[in-house]
Each structure stands twice: as C-alpha cells, then as structure tokens.
Amino acid sequence: MNKHSSAIEKNITESLAKNGTNWIANDINASFWNVAKLEKNIEVDSNTPKSHLTEIIFSKKISSFGILTDEIYCNIFADLQQCLKNTFESNSISKPYQLANINRNIISFIVSVNECRELNDLPPILALNQITEEDFFDFMESFQTKAEQFYAVVDELKLITHQPTNKDWENINSKLKLRSKTFSIIKARIKASKLKELYISNSSTKKEFDDANISRGIHELTLVNKKTVQNITSDLEHLFNNSQDLKFPINFSPYETLGGEEGLATLFDGFQNEVKTAAMPLETAFHLISQSMKFQINYGPSLLKYLKDIDLHYKNRAKYYAKSTLLKECYTRERLFLIVKCPVELISLNISILGLEHEVKRDTSPKGSISLVNAIQLHLASMYILLLAYLATREFSILLLKRNCFEHSPLDGLCDVKFKQQKASTFNLLETIHRPIPAQIYELGLQYCEFSQYLEERYGINHDDENSYLFTNFHNAKKLITRHFCPSDDDFIPEHLYSDTMQSCLNHFSDWSGVPLIDEKRWYATEHQFRRLFAILYFSLTNEEGIEELSWFLGHENLEMTFGYAEIHPSSEWMDEAIISIAKRAVKINENLNVDKAISNIVELAKEKSIKLNLQLEDVVYHAINERIKKTGEEVHFKRCDDKTIYFYFTEGANNA
C-alpha cells in the first residue's frame, strides 16, 4: 500500500445518507451534490475520490435576505433539486456534470427576479410559481449591456494598478449598482477580451507583446452573444419541461415566451458577429512545433537529471534547517539551489534562480535568464504543443492523457497515442482512440513520461501509469518548490492540469522561443487553433476531397461542422501567407541540395535580371508572375543565392513540353 494512502482516504467524499440514486455521491437533500466528472463513470458513491467529482452548489445568495438553502426558501430549494433530478433521469441531458451549469443559470435567474422585486419594494419570491413571463423578459434584457455601463466598469478598472481581485470587482459593482447579471456579463467579457487596455491580468502582463490573436474589438463587447442567450433559455426551459413532482412549478415555457429567432431580433438591438476559431498563421505554427521539438531533444533529459540533483542536495541539507524555514524562506531555498551545478546541456537556457512559490514571472530573474520553474513550464508547453499538433483532438482529450498513452505496436511496428475523445453522444464515458504518431514523437513522449512520473515520485507517490495523468498537477509551481518540504494531505491527490495553466505556459513558450511578430504584435496561439490548422491543411492537401475522413478524424457528427473547420476563403490572406511560409522552408531545404550544370547556368543568367525582394514577395511581382504563368503555361522557380536576394526564373511547363 502507498504510504500516503491514508492521506488520500481523508479526501474521499464521506457518505451522508442513502439517496436512492447511483449518480449522486452524497445525500440528495444536502446543500451540494457531488456527481461524476466528464470522463468518469456515471455511477458514483461515497468511496469515489473528490478528484473524480463535480460539485453542484446550492448554498448561493438569491436575495439580500439570504441564501437558497435557508429555511424560508425551502420550497424553491426542494423544487430546484427535483427539477435537476428529473432533467438527468429523463435523459434531457446525458452527463450529470452538465447539471452544474443548469443550476448556476437557474439560480442567476432567481437572483434577477428578486433584484427586480426589491427595486419595486416587493418581497423576494418564496416559490417558483411566483415567477412571471415579465420576469423572464426582464432577465433576458439584462444581457443587453449599455455602452455607458460597460465603459463605467472600464474606467473603474483603470484606477486599479494590479490584477483585480474578487473584492475589487465587488467594490466596483457596489459603486455602480448594476444588475448582477449585467455586471457578471461585463466582467466576463472584459476578462476574456485579452485587451491590455481593458484589463490587467497575469495572462496579459506576462506577454511581452500585444496579442495579434484577438477576434473581437472593443466595440463588439457591448453586444449580445446570441448563442449565450439561446443556451441559457434552453437551461431555464428545464424548469418547465422537467417539472414533474415539483410542488410549485413555473407556469410558462421560457422558450416559447422568447419566440425563437424573431423574438430575439425584437428583444435586442444587435448581436456579436459569430467568430470562427481564427486560423493560426502557418509561420507561427511551424515555429512553435520546430522549437518544441528542439526543446524536448536538447533539454528534456538534462532537466530531469538537474531536478534530481537539486532534490538530493536539499535532502542532504534539510537536516540542518527547520521545515518551516525551507517552506517560508525563499532566499534560503535559493542559496541552496545555487550550490548545485547546472548540467552543461542546460547552460544555454541560462537558469539563474529556483523560482518563488507565489510568482514565477520571468522578470524575477536577471535579464535574459529564467528560473527552474520557468524551464519546467517550457518543458511542459513544448510537449503540449507537439501533442496538440499531431493529435488534432480537443484540449480536454490532451489533458486527460495518461502516462501509458504512448504505445508501440508489436504487429506493425507503428507508434500510437491512445486517448479519449468526446463526441456529442449519449454516453458519459469517452471513446478510446489510437492515433499514429512519428517514432520521434513517441520517443520524446516516453522521455516526458519519465519526467512526469518523477514529479510524483518526489512525494512518494507511485501509481500505475494507467491511473496517472501525463500532465499531472505536480507541475504546479508550489509543488515544484515549497510543498516538497512540508506537504499537506491535499498535495497527495494527483489530478490533471487545467486549460488556464496550459494556456499560460503556451504563452510563455511563444515569448521565450520568439514567435515571429506581425506588425509589432505576437500571435499567442490557443489550443483549438492547432486543431483547426490541422483541418485546414488536411482539407487543402487532399484537394478538398478528404472531408469525410477529416470529419471522422476530428470526431464530428456531421460534415457541415467539419467543413466549417476546414474552409478558408479563397481571398483569405492566410493562404497567401501559408504559401510564402512553405516556400521559405523549401528554399532552406534546397540550400543544401546540389543542382546540375544546366540549372546553375540558368541561375547565373537570371542573376543579371535579378529582383531583390524579401521572402514576402511584393504584390506587384507576385501578381506579375501569376499573370505570366497563366499566359505562357511556364513554370516559375526560385533560388536564394544569399541571405537577402532571391532569383526567380521560368522554364517550359510540363504541358508545353
């Protein structure tokens, strides 16, 4: 038995009562429910670890007088729980964790109703059947944020010089007195905007450049998101459609009350444009993938050795210090760290400090250097990028990868990654996919598994690879540095990392590796853009005939969705940039190839009429070349003879020969 099994058992959900259901782990009448997470089996019980559960919380404030679980609101509480139970057991939804979002939206609706009643000097509702159609329309209208409301929040944020805390947000709303839903929408849009001029966040301040990967301008942030309104209406509809056994159900259908598309158009002034996931510039993708390969090859093994050497040194020195000293005094840890010799292979990384528990910003290191924590996060990001690029699956599938995901077939000798892929189906468990990968990615994957395993072994955790995440939460900065000296029980529960952590590491890698700038901005790629890039390239390279295979590959249920992923408009600048990017790499490869005498002579003659241009050909020249090809049927060839000059020449086309 693992020496920390007793600690893990302390984190097991305790059984409160028999509840008659096999998909709720605790008492159905409690102030919260624990239900299975996405990838877990629907059936749960009192022995299911918390890390496998999603919590549905009912003890939320619904009026200025109290929270939902207060005795005065017992009828609303009981009916809401019954409605959620009906919603899952009637197969209106397929996965119990989806109830968490439905619960949040219904509670948000009740809060809105009570806010309106309070403004009119009316008491809060005590039962769901007190909610009227007018209350529903009033709630829907709160999604229409006025420009003056939006910019009032922005002006308040400008007075805050740090990343706003929850208390800061509360103070802003207390001052402006906006409706809770309106304020939450404004807050969410500002935080998701990635615009530094609107919001200071860890994500924005850690980026070296402004982000070129921004899909919406400030002017669009005040408009209603149609899909959001439709989804929330669908959630509220469960109050009507799944009202069996409710004591005081609502007496109208939110969906029919809204009136579909026509009703939406009547209710709101306008909507945000539907924005498809942006196509990542091919130059950015090539850069990230190549730099990730280099990092894994050049630094991966040495980072593991370095971390082991540091741990051994701390272990030998720990007897001379109190645990509290090593836990709290970062300067003591840093002094001990500097004694350990850095491997020669890592010298070019310029690791100068260990890194502090509460912040791992690059500016804590001397200029041009990084911390050990940063180096490990770059290691994490580089493997993440390679898997995103080669698997082209959803991010959640990547995060759920286990350490036994890399397989080598004894039958055909091919290498695979085994992962779980979610489809829009009625099953809670995910479908297992085996996807071929290059042998080098397989070898690098095994190498990273060893690193991931060691991060848990330093805590004495030795789970089977089948039950261990590749991207374990033991990559966390606290676990890397301080918790190793004085861990708490919670530290012994391995979990996977989450999307915000992965995006932060991806942004860091983009800056560290120097992703090429676009008009003085840097494209900070997102995980989903790797998936779309794969779709675009596959679709284009199969002459737009591989849509069915691509649809299967991406796990889509219909070809329309796949086509939306893969299509690039013929006039798109992306395709022009992609051609140039591919040409650049072709030229680089060709530099090392020998050409015959005839071609050499042609190049020499072409030098006399050479045109100096950068790799992104001037539009005039680009179009002139295309026009000549159309008229003569000739083929154009390019030859770079030095770092700055490209010569091009024409030969008779194959059709004219």
Which of the pair, 352 or 322, is modelled with greater confidence?
A: 352
**CA dist., res. 334 & res. 230, Å (int):** 53
| For residue 528, pLDDT beyond 50 | yes
Which of the pair, 262 or 60, is modelled with greater confidence?
A: 60
| For residue 40, pLDDT beyond 70 | no
| For residue 425, pLDDT beyond 50 | no
| For residue 430, pLDDT beyond 80 | no
Which of the pair, 279 or 198, is modelled with greater confidence?
A: 279
Q: Please tell me whether residue 636 adopts helix, strand or coil conformation.
A: strand
> Count of CB atoms within 10 A of residue 155's CB?
11
Give residue 54's identity as a one-letter amino acid code: T
Q: Please tell me whether residue 155 adopts helix, strand or coil conformation.
A: helix
Which of the pair, 565 or 597, is modelled with greater confidence?
A: 565
Supply the pLDDT for residue 79: 97
Tell me what percent of the residues of the chain surpass a pLDDT of 90.
Answer: 38
Which of the pair, 482 or 301, is modelled with greater confidence?
A: 301
**CA dist., res. 202 & res. 362, Å (int):** 12
Supply the pLDDT for residue 24: 93
Supply the pLDDT for residue 123: 95
Residues 360 and 381: beta-carbon distance below 8 Å: no
**CA dist., res. 505 & res. 448, Å (int):** 16
**Assessment of whether the complete model's pTM goes beyond 0.85:** no
Supply the pLDDT for residue 305: 96
Average pLDDT over residues 400-415: 88
What pLDDT band is residue 612 in, cutting at 50, 70 and 90?
very low
282-317 vs 573-590: helix axis angle to the nearest 10? 70
Average pLDDT over residues 563-568: 80
In DSSP notation, 458-501 reads: TTT----GGGSBTTBGGGSHHHHHTTTTS--GGGG---B--HHH
Supply the pLDDT for residue 39: 59
Which residue from 55, 56, 59 is spatially nearest to 68, judged by alpha carbons?
59
**CA dist., res. 110 & res. 95, Å (int):** 24
**CA dist., res. 342 & res. 252, Å (int):** 69
The position carrying tokens 């020249």 is 621
Supply the pLDDT for residue 265: 80
Average pLDDT over residues 319-345: 77
Average pLDDT over residues 135-143: 91
Backbone φ and ψ for 517, nearest 5 degrees, come out as -80, 155
What pLDDT band is residue 426 in, cutting at 50, 70 and 90?
very low
Which residue from 451, 435, 404 is spatially nearest to 296, judged by alpha carbons?
451
**CA dist., res. 526 & res. 528, Å (int):** 6
Domain residue ranges in the chain: 62-143+226-274, 145-223, 282-522, 526-568, 615-652
Supply the pLDDT for residue 614: 38
| For residue 595, pLDDT beyond 70 | no
Sequence-separated contacts (24+) of 245-250 with Cβ below 8 Å:
245/82, 245/86, 246/79, 246/82, 246/83, 246/128, 247/75, 247/78, 247/79, 247/127, 248/75, 248/79, 248/127, 248/128, 248/129, 248/130, 249/79, 249/128, 249/129, 250/128, 250/129, 250/131
The position carrying tokens 């080598």 is 408
What pLDDT band is residue 362 in, cutting at 50, 70 and 90?
very low
Which tokens go with 312? Answer: 């051994």
Q: Please tell me whether residue 317 adopts helix, strand or coil conformation.
A: helix
> Count of CB atoms within 10 A of residue 556's CB?
19
Average pLDDT over residues 280-304: 95
Which tokens go with 319? Answer: 């007897």
In DSSP notation, 350-382 reads: -EEE---SS---GGGSPTT-EEHHHHHHHHHHH
H or E element at residue 623:
helix 619-632
Which segment of 3-17, 41-55, 86-100, 345-359 scores lowest on mean pLDDT? 3-17
Average pLDDT over residues 144-169: 87
Residues 180 and 112: beta-carbon distance below 8 Å: yes
What pLDDT band is residue 363 in, cutting at 50, 70 and 90?
very low
| For residue 427, pLDDT beyond 80 | no
| For residue 585, pLDDT beyond 80 | no
| For residue 200, pLDDT beyond 60 | yes
- Ranked by mean pLDDT, which of 255-269, 335-349, 412-426 comes out on top? 335-349
Which tokens go with 140? Answer: 């829907």
What pLDDT band is residue 657 in, cutting at 50, 70 and 90?
very low
Residue range 282-522 forms a domain whose CATH class is mainly alpha
What pLDDT band is residue 603 in, cutting at 50, 70 and 90?
very low
Average pLDDT over residues 363-371: 66
The mean pLDDT value of the chain amounts to 80
What pLDDT band is residue 15 in, cutting at 50, 70 and 90?
very low
Which tokens go with 462? Answer: 């030795």
Residues 6+ apart with CB under 8 A from 266: 259
| For residue 482, pLDDT beyond 70 | no
Sign (positive or negative) of CA dihedral 221, 224, 227, 229: positive
What pLDDT band is residue 549 in, cutting at 50, 70 and 90?
confident
Average pLDDT over residues 539-559: 81
Supply the pLDDT for residue 366: 55
Q: Please tell me whether residue 435 adopts helix, strand or coil conformation.
A: strand
Average pLDDT over residues 445-468: 92
Residues 589 and 631: beta-carbon distance below 8 Å: no
How many residues would you count in the chain? 657
**CA dist., res. 85 & res. 242, Å (int):** 9
Strands 370-371 and 351-353 come out as: parallel
448-459: per-residue pLDDT in tens? 999 999 999 888
Q: How many helices (H) and strands (E) does the chain have?
A: 25, 13
Which segment of 37-51, 60-74, 434-448 scores lowest on mean pLDDT? 37-51
Residues 6+ apart with CB under 8 A from 606: 639, 647, 648, 649
In DSSP notation, 543-593 reads: TT--HHHHHHHHT-SSHHHHHHHH---TT-HHHHHHHHHHHHHHHHHHTTS
